Amino acid sequence: MAINWFPGHMHKARKEIKKVMPQMDLIIEVLDARIPFSSENPLVPALRQNTPVIKVLNKRDLADPAVTAQWQASLERDKGVRAITLDHQHRDEAMAILKLAREMTAHRNLERSALRVMILGIPNVGKSTLINTLAGRTIAKTGNEPAVTRAQQIIKLPDNVLLYDTPGFLWPKLSPEACGYRLAVTGAIRAAVIEFDDVALFAAEYLLQAYPEALRDRYDLDPLPADGLGVMDAIAARRNFYGRGGVPDLHKVAEVLLNELRAGKLGRISLETPAMVAREAQQALAGSPQA
């Protein structure tokens, strides 16, 4: 997967964040609960030093609750990190983040002054939605696209919190390769970057091994096919997706599978677990090819 993430923009965002980060009392990092590792911003561990972090596992309504609980426990092993779960339907829980931010910084005696909080998140994790919820109004998006350059926004929130929303394209993690695919499955990386049909095939293979019953129930696949391509063929047969000459229309299958998965129609599905990520890291270290 050869992707050019605009090194100039990456450099600029990094410089910007590096400059602002030391002035911050706390960081809110918005993650996609389905991929808490792949949606992490690589800059946070590199630049945060001792600044406390609240990791928001957002879109929890789409993720497997048991796996999300594993992630919470795993992320909180890091010093100064609290991990909470959220979805955009629960304003009260979003507002509780501000209370938690105060608690996590209480030892620093900041009660009477404004709390400076930086919010970070790669595109599509729901950062803007959360900012709007916290602010109680619609705030214009900062530039998430590589070509957009806008000034950093400082948003006044209740409880004397100042939220710093840093512009610049906050690029996602693309290594190991599986991260790129998982990001693409959630829609965080657009189809133009990775071949759409390949993304769907990746999803079909993953579902077959991690959530076979969800596949079977949604597409009435009994018995289940042996591999991802078999799953796609079987969905074509079930939904009658055939092209000219009676060939299965795999592009149509890819579109339907990914749209339905993203919309939660296959149930609550997580795309990575702490154990999977640890295994991949070991494989990368050992230099062995990834499965």
Among the candidate windows 8-16, 66-74, 117-125, 168-176, which touches ligand GDP by CB under 6 A?
117-125
- For the CA atoms of 24, 26, 31, 37, the dihedral, rounded to the nearest 10 degrees, stands at 90
Number of helices (H), then strands (E), belonging to the chain: the values are: 11, 6
Is residue 253 within 8 Å of 200, Cβ to Cβ?
Answer: yes
Q: With binding defined as CB under 6 A, does residue 129 bind ligand GDP?
A: yes
Distance between the two ends of the chain, CA-based, in angstroms? 15
Binding characters for ligand GDP, 143-182, by CB under 6 A (x = yes): -x--------------------------------------
Q: How does 62-95 read in b/e, with b if 16+ C-beta sit within 10 Å? A: bbbeebbeebbebbeeeeebbbbbbbeeeeeebe
The Cα–Cα gap between 95 and 180 comes to 32
How many residues line the site for ligand GDP (CB under 6 A)? 15
User: Which residues face 157 on adjacent strands?
Assistant: 161
The H or E element that residue 29 is part of is strand 26-32
Nearer to ligand GDP, 147 or 247 (CB): 147
Nearer to ligand GDP, 63 or 200 (CB): 63
Options 36, 52, 121, 228; binder of ligand GDP; rule CB under 6 A: 121
Q: With binding defined as CB under 6 A, does residue 34 bind ligand GDP?
A: no
Options 62, 161, 170, 214; binder of ligand GDP; rule CB under 6 A: 62
Options 39, 68, 128, 166; binder of ligand GDP; rule CB under 6 A: 128
- Write down the least CB distance from residue 58 to ligand GDP, Å: 5
Other CB atoms within 10 Å distance of the CB of residue 250: 19
Options 58, 85, 105, 166; binder of ligand GDP; rule CB under 6 A: 58
Instruction: Catalog residues that contact ligand GDP under the rule CB under 6 A.
Output: 58-59, 61-62, 87-88, 121, 123-129, 144
